[in-house]
């Protein structure tokens, strides 16, 4: 009898919760962070300086907002990579709770979507965090390979004062193009449009929400990387989903590190707010929804979006006190001496031709792998490592991402095609010394580029895809058309280079999995062939092995190898000076 009463009481409570009286009016503010990339404190551990964005500032803003508003706080992924703070929690201090779970639980995040750089940390890291978070980590289109069920939670329901809010999470499906399968083993990534078309009707039918939110770790510009509206598994499909899948009121975006606040029409002619912040917690975005109950018992919703800059927000002092121990541990970690350089190196030179910075990376890759040839590209625009002592923090300048190092087999002809593809997306075909060396695209004079408002040009393609080779001698003739610029002269030791020989090539895992298109579009290999060509892979990230290499050497003398050159020489010299002025504005 007692059990029956308890069952009836439970059913009664459930029934009441499903029939909560809707308020006549209600105001809700939804705040999103995205692409935080380890910017938890307002301090850059790599460059030893204070920065304008941080979660410590976001906490100040959100805490103040919560005093007089109903707030939902969301994160849109890519928090586990970027600063030594998160690297330390990912791979060094693995026995304690992760810094991100400590901080995000402290800030009372309500939900988050996982990003591609979070997957990059590997199963041990994100599986651990999934259990440590006090909120759901969403990704409806990240599926268990065996039974196709979501590996992470697909969506989250909130009921605020009788108003029901549904949040659907999606992750960019391009991960297999960038990351080794070891990092996402057992997961497959479904096309965002397919997944949204499957889940939105289910959510509407089963949950009947008053507000449907998309939280997509995916960008706005579907044309990025020369893709189009109909490209399967488009990396940046947020706008496509907003337009093609009716039901969404707001879609929060990320991944592309751009600021968005756009209202678009879906195929039913309904408005959808698409909004997202830039990276590094320099901004948050807020969507304010005013609900008004109409005569049909539904809500009319007035939705507005706002971009909030964090540069003028003060750090929450209690936040810094709460995590002082973690800060000090990482400060000590990054201050450990690794070795010594006898001259300064910088990445900016690598935009225009041969550079000491890239040649050092190539030397390390060749030494670690024992390969015949190495490929590398600049991973940042303006990283500088000064002459003198080199510390752990400098390793994040030397190598920005947690890529593995692969060795793969390529023929001489394929190496030539690889280089042609790289320079086809990098150097202009010049008609005279007055032309640009770099391939630029004109932009709106009012649009910010590289943090400034006075630029009239930006790079047409991403600098981290500007690969060069070491181990061979070659020239790049900028007067020649695309796919005819490269002439390979010999191996670096002056022995003959053969187009039909097979060479062992050192390459990072992003490129080795097809990232940038060099091996797929340039060389013409399939995804299956990429796997077949792989000989070896490091078991830890390349930065780790670079650090060990420098520690073993003690004193390092970075040198310019002069293995390649740009011709005509006089055109190159004059054009690069012009383009340097453009890039340094």
Residue 240 lies in a domain: yes
Residue 5 lies in a domain: no
Q: Are 310 and 348 found together in one domain?
A: no
Read off the pLDDT of residues 280-316 as tens digits, 9 standing for 90 and up.
999 999 999 999 999 988 999 999 999 999 999 999 9
Per-residue pLDDT, averaged over 465-477, amounts to 98
Q: Are 325 and 369 found together in one domain?
A: no
Per-residue pLDDT, averaged over 256-260, amounts to 97
CATH code (residue 378): 3.90.780.10
User: Cα–chain-centroid distance for residue 498?
Assistant: 38
Residue 188 lies in a domain: yes
Per-residue pLDDT, averaged over 209-234, amounts to 94
Can the peptide bond before residue 568 be classed as cis, meaning omega within 30 degrees of 0?
A: yes
Q: Which of 330, 351, 368 is the last residue of a domain?
A: 330
Q: Are 288 and 383 found together in one domain?
A: no
Return the DSSP state at 480. Answer: S
Q: How far apart are CA 444 and CA 352, in angstroms?
A: 24
Say if CB 262 and CB 254 are below 8 A apart: no
Residue 215 CA: distances (Å) to CA of 2, 255, 275, 336:
44, 11, 10, 39
What range does the domain containing 502 cover?
A: 336-583
Residue 18 lies in a domain: no
Read off the pLDDT of residues 399-429 as tens digits, 9 standing for 90 and up.
999 999 999 999 999 999 999 999 999 999 9
Q: How far apart are CA 526 and CA 517, in angstroms?
A: 11
Q: Are 86 and 184 found together in one domain?
A: yes
Residue 438 lies in a domain: yes
Q: Are 348 and 268 found together in one domain?
A: no
Angle at the Cα of 275 from the Cα atoms of 161 and 114, rounded to 5 degrees:
80
> For position 585, what pLDDT does the model report?
73
Q: Which helix (H) or strand (E) holds 75?
A: strand 71-75
Return phi, psi of residue 573, to 5°. Answer: -60, -45
> For position 395, what pLDDT does the model report?
96
The beta-strand segments (E) located in 135-282 are 137-138, 142-144, 155-160, 163-171, 187-189, 211-217, 250-252, 260-265, 271-276
> For position 458, what pLDDT does the model report?
86
Say if CB 397 and CB 558 are below 8 A apart: no
What DSSP string runs through 403-465?
A: --EEEEEEEHHHHHHHHHHHHHTTB---SSTTS-SB-EEE--TTS-BTTBS--SEEESS-GGG
Say if CB 98 and CB 89 are below 8 A apart: yes
Residue 434 lies in a domain: yes
Residue 100 lies in a domain: yes
Q: Are 68 and 156 found together in one domain?
A: yes
Q: Are 77 and 216 found together in one domain?
A: yes
> For position 226, what pLDDT does the model report?
80
Per-residue pLDDT, averaged over 319-342, amounts to 97
Task: Indicate the pLDDT class of residue 22, thresholds 50, 70 and 90.
Answer: confident
Q: Which of 330, 353, 368 is the last residue of a domain?
A: 330
Q: Tell me: pLDDT of 18 over 60.
A: no
Task: Indicate the pLDDT class of residue 468, thresholds 50, 70 and 90.
Answer: very high
As beta bridge partners, residue 211 has 165
> For position 456, what pLDDT does the model report?
55
Q: How far apart are CA 247 and CA 159, in angstroms?
A: 18
Say if CB 280 and CB 39 are below 8 A apart: yes
- Hey, how many other C-beta atoms are within 10 angstroms of the C-beta on 208? 10
> For position 345, what pLDDT does the model report?
96
Q: Tell me: pLDDT of 8 over 60.
A: no
Taken in order 424, 429, 435, 441, the sign of the CA dihedral is: negative
Q: Are 158 and 173 found together in one domain?
A: yes
Q: Which segment of 20-24, 28-32, 181-185, 343-347 scores lowest on mean pLDDT? A: 20-24
Overall number of domains in the chain: 2
Per-residue pLDDT, averaged over 346-357, amounts to 96
Return the DSSP state at 96. Answer: S
CATH code (residue 278): 3.60.21.10
Give burial (CB, 10 Å; 0-12/13-18/19+) of 267: exposed
Per-residue pLDDT, averaged over 72-78, amounts to 98
Read off the pLDDT of residues 140-162 as tens digits, 9 standing for 90 and up.
999 999 999 999 999 999 999 99
Q: Which helix (H) or strand (E) holds 11?
A: helix 2-18
Per-residue pLDDT, averaged over 122-143, amounts to 98
> For position 457, what pLDDT does the model report?
73
Say if CB 561 and CB 376 are below 8 A apart: no
Q: Are 173 and 223 found together in one domain?
A: yes
Say if CB 404 and CB 180 are below 8 A apart: yes
For the whole model, what pTM was predicted? 0.89
Reading the block at residue 364, the tokens are: 């390390």
Read off the pLDDT of residues 372-404 as tens digits, 9 standing for 90 and up.
999 999 999 899 999 999 999 999 999 999 999
Q: Tell me: pLDDT of 441 over 90.
A: no
Per-residue pLDDT, averaged over 512-518, amounts to 95
- Hey, how many other C-beta atoms are within 10 angstroms of the C-beta on 185? 10
Q: Which helix (H) or strand (E) holds 304?
A: strand 299-309
Q: Which of 280, 309, 330 is the last residue of a domain?
A: 330
Per-residue pLDDT, averaged over 70-91, amounts to 97
Q: Tell me: pLDDT of 370 over 90.
A: yes
Q: Tell me: pLDDT of 454 over 50.
A: no
Q: What whole-number percentage of the chain has pLDDT above 70?
A: 94
Reading the block at residue 295, the tokens are: 């005569």
> For position 20, what pLDDT does the model report?
67
> For position 140, what pLDDT does the model report?
98
Residue 478 lies in a domain: yes
The structure tokens 């055109």 sit at: 571
- Hey, how many other C-beta atoms are within 10 angstroms of the C-beta on 365? 27
Q: Tell me: pLDDT of 455 over 80.
A: no
Q: Are 103 and 221 found together in one domain?
A: yes
As beta bridge partners, residue 452 has 449
Task: Indicate the pLDDT class of residue 447, thresholds 50, 70 and 90.
Answer: very low
Q: How far apart are CA 347 and CA 466, in angstroms?
A: 12
Q: Which segment of 19-33, 388-402, 512-526, 552-566 scores lowest on mean pLDDT? A: 19-33
Q: Are 269 and 365 found together in one domain?
A: no
Residues 140/141/142/144 CA torsion (nearest 10 deg): 90
Q: Are 347 and 303 found together in one domain?
A: no
**Pairing state between β 43-44 and 71-75:** unpaired
């Amino acid at each position: 009898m007692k059990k029956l009463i308890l069952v009836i009481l439970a059913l009664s409570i459930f029934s009441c919760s499903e029939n909560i009286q809707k308020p006549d009016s209600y105001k809700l503010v939804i705040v999103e962070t995205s692409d935080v990339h380890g910017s938890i404190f307002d301090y850059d551990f790599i460059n030893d300086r204070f920065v304008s964005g941080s979660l410590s500032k976001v906490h100040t803003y959100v805490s103040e907002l919560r005093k007089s508003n109903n707030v939902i706080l969301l994160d849109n992924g890519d928090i586990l990579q970027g600063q030594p703070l998160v690297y330390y929690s990912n791979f060094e201090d693995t026995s304690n709770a992760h810094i991100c779970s400590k901080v995000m639980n402290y800030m009372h995040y309500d939900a988050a979507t996982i990003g591609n750089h979070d997957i990059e940390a590997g199963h041990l890291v994100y599986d651990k965090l999934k259990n440590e978070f006090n909120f759901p980590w969403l990704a409806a289109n990240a599926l268990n390979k065996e039974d196709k069920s979501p590996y992470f939670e697909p969506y989250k329901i909130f009921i605020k004062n009788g108003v029901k809010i549904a949040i659907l999470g999606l992750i960019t499906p391009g991960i297999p193009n960038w990351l080794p399968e070891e990092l996402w083993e057992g997961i497959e990534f479904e096309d965002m449009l397919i997944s949204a078309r499957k889940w939105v009707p289910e959510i509407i039918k089963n949950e009947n929400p008053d507000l449907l939110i998309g939280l997509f770790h995916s960008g706005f510009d579907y044309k990025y990387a020369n893709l189009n509206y109909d490209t399967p598994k488009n990396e940046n499909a947020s706008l496509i989903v907003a337009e093609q899948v009716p039901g969404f009121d707001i879609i929060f975006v990320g991944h592309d590190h751009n600021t968005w606040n756009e209202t678009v029409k879906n195929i039913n002619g309904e408005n959808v707010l698409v909004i997202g912040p830039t990276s590094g917690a320099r901004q948050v975005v807020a969507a304010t929804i005013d609900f008004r109950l109409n005569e049909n018992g539904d809500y009319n919703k007035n939705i507005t979006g706002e971009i909030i800059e964090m540069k003028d927000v003060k750090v929450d002092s209690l936040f810094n006190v709460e995590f002082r121990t973690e800060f000090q541990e990482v400060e000590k970690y990054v201050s450990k001496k690794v070795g010594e350089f006898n001259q300064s190196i910088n990445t900016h030179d690598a935009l225009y031709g041969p550079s000491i910075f890239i040649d050092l990376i190539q030397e390390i890759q060749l030494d670690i792998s024992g390969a015949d040839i190495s490929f590398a590209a600049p991973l940042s625009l303006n990283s500088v490592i000064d002459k003198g002592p080199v510390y752990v923090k400098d390793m994040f300048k030397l190598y920005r991402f947690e890529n593995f190092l692969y060795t793969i087999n390529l023929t001489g002809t394929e190496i030539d095609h690889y280089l042609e593809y790289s320079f086809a997306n990098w150097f202009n075909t010049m008609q005279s010394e007055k032309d640009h060396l770099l391939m630029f695209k004109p932009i709106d004079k009012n649009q910010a580029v590289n943090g400034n408002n006075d630029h009239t040009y930006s790079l047409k393609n991403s600098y981290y895809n500007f690969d060069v080779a070491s181990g061979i001698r070659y020239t790049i003739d900028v007067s020649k058309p695309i796919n005819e610029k490269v002439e390979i002269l010999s191996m670096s030791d002056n022995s003959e280079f053969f187009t039909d020989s097979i060479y062992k090539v050192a390459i990072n895992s992003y490129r080795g999995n097809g990232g940038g298109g060099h091996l797929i579009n340039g060389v013409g290999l399939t995804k299956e062939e990429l796997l077949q060509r792989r000989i070896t892979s490091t078991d830890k990230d390349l930065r780790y092995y670079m650090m060990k290499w420098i520690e073993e050497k003690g004193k390092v003398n970075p040198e310019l190898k002069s293995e390649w050159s740009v011709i005509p020489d006089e055109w190159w010299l004059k054009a690069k000076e012009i383009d340097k002025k453009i890039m340094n504005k």
